[in-house]
Amino acid sequence: MSIVRIALANVRIPETREETVAVATEAIAEAGAQRAHIICFPECFVPGYRWPNSTMLPPDPEFLQQALHQITRAAAAAQITVILGTERITERGLQITACVINADGSIAGWQDKVQLDPDEEPRYPSFGHERHVFTAGPLTFGIVICHEGWRYPETVRWAVRRGAQIVFHPHAGIAERGSYRPTTFADPANTFHEKAVLCRAAENTCYFASVNGASDGSPTTSAIARPDGSLHSYQPYGKAGLLIADLDLALATGLLASRCRTSPLENP
C-alpha cells in the first residue's frame, strides 16, 4: 500500500499581488508541517486571476520572477512539492500556467493552460501547446486548469493513460450577482461543475483533486474524488484553509482510461 498525503490550498483570495506571495508561502509551510507530500494552489493564485473589469496591475515579469524565487525557497524549506497556479509572459503573450516546483526548490516544469474559456482570450491571449505528466516520489500526476478540466475530459484521460494516479485541477470561481450559493458538494441545484469532478475520476479510475480559493458565496469548493467516482472529501464553502487527504495510490489503477480505444483498430 502506497499512501500519499496531499494538500489543496483552499485559502482566502488576497487583495494584492504581494499578499498572494505571503499567503502562498504560509500555506506551503503549514502543509509541510502537516507532512503533506504535495500542495496545489488555485488557478492564477499568484498574482491573482484577472477577472473581467478587474483593476489589477499589468503583467510584470520582474514581479513574477521574484515571487517564484520566494515560493521555491518556501518549497525547499518545507520539503514539499508545489503546484503553483500562476501566469507567465512568453513570446506569444500572457498565458495561464501552473508551475511545478520540486521539494528541493528546483522547477520541474510548467503546465500551460491549453484550452481557454472563450471569455479568457482577451485577457490571456496565449495558450499552451503541450501536455505533461510529473512525478514526486511515488506519485505521478497531471494538471488540467479550470475550463479544460470541466469541459474537455480528454485532457484528464491523456494524463492517466501516461501513468498519472491523480490529476490536479486548479481553478478560479467566485460568486456572481444573484447566483445560487451551495452548501453541499455537487448539490443538484447548483451548476454541473462539481458533478464533473466525480465524473473525471470515475471515467478514468484516477483520483481527481479540484482546488478553488475561499470566497463568500463561492460556486465551487476544493474537493477530492476517488477513482470509483465517489467523494473522498471537500472543504466547507467559503472556509479558508488546507484540505488535507491521505490517498491510497493502489486504488488509482487507470483501468478505464487504459481501455479507451483511441482509434477503431486499437486493442484495449
What tens digit of pLDDT does each residue of 105-128 get? 999 999 999 999 999 999 999 999
Using left for φ > 0, alpha for ψ between -120 and 50, and beta otherwise, residue 93 falls in: left
Q: How far apart are CA 211 and CA 230, in angstroms?
A: 17
pLDDT tens digits along 225-260:
999 999 999 999 999 999 999 999 999 999 999 999
Q: How far apart are CA 11 and CA 219, in angstroms?
A: 15
Above 80 in pLDDT, residue 263?
no
* Domain annotation for the chain: domains and CATH numbers: 3-258 (3.60.110.10)
pLDDT tens digits along 168-221:
999 999 999 889 999 999 999 999 999 999 999 999 999 999 999 999 999 999
Q: How far apart are CA 255 and CA 252, in angstroms?
A: 8
Q: How far apart are CA 70 and CA 72, in angstroms?
A: 6
Which neighbouring-strand residues pair with 134? 141
Q: How confident is the model at residue 268 (pLDDT cuts 50, 70, 90)?
A: very low
Q: Which of 31, 151, 49, 36 is nearest to 95 (CA)?
A: 49
C-beta separation of 234 from 255 below 8 A: no
What is the model's pTM? 0.97
Q: How confident is the model at residue 138 (pLDDT cuts 50, 70, 90)?
A: very high
Using left for φ > 0, alpha for ψ between -120 and 50, and beta otherwise, residue 118 falls in: alpha
| 252-256, Cβ contacts within 8 angstroms, sequence gap of 24 or more | 252/165, 252/166, 252/205, 252/206, 252/207, 252/227, 253/205, 253/227, 254/160, 254/161, 254/163, 254/164, 254/165, 254/204, 254/205, 254/206, 255/205, 256/202, 256/203, 256/204, 256/205
Whole-number pLDDT of residue 265 = 53
C-beta separation of 30 from 259 below 8 A: no
pLDDT tens digits along 45-96:
999 999 998 889 999 999 999 999 999 999 999 999 999 999 999 988 999 9
Whole-number pLDDT of residue 53 = 86
